[in-house]
Amino acid sequence: MKLLALPKPIMITMGLTENNMINKNILLAVTLGTLLAATSANAGVSSIRSNGNISGVASYLVQCSSGSDYVIYKKNGTWYRGGSGHMGNKYDSWSKSDVANYLCS
């Protein structure tokens, strides 16, 4: 029985040298790590749902994966946290999701 000799596999590098391929792999790893970190940053919020009206405006119940929950509402351009009051002017431009992520972080 005669064995056939197969050609060596050819690595297609698309014109990249070994060092460039390593740099490309490092960039890919850093990018994936950043995406995972961004996803993890939002992982603290379990849900945001309507919670009726407070002081004549819609309020929301923010539930965190840690088990904490918060009631938030925005009145006259300012975010309030139920029970704690005004959150501070620096949060005024934040979205409902931004506030929820902050509270659950």
How far is residue 3's CA from residue 82's CA, in Å, rounded to a whole number? 78
- Written as one letter, the residue type at 10 is I
How far is residue 38's CA from residue 91's CA, in Å, rounded to a whole number? 20
Whether residue 19 is contained in a domain is answered as no
List Cα–Cα distances, 104 to 32, 46, 71, in angstroms.
Answer: 23, 9, 12
Q: How many domains does the chain have?
A: 1
- Written as one letter, the residue type at 11 is M
Whether residue 32 is contained in a domain is answered as no
pLDDT tens, N- to C-terminus, the chain (105 residues): 566 666 666 656 566 666 666 666 665 564 545 444 444 555 699 999 999 999 999 999 999 999 999 999 999 999 999 989 999 999 999 999 999 999 999
Note down the domain range covering 84.
45-104
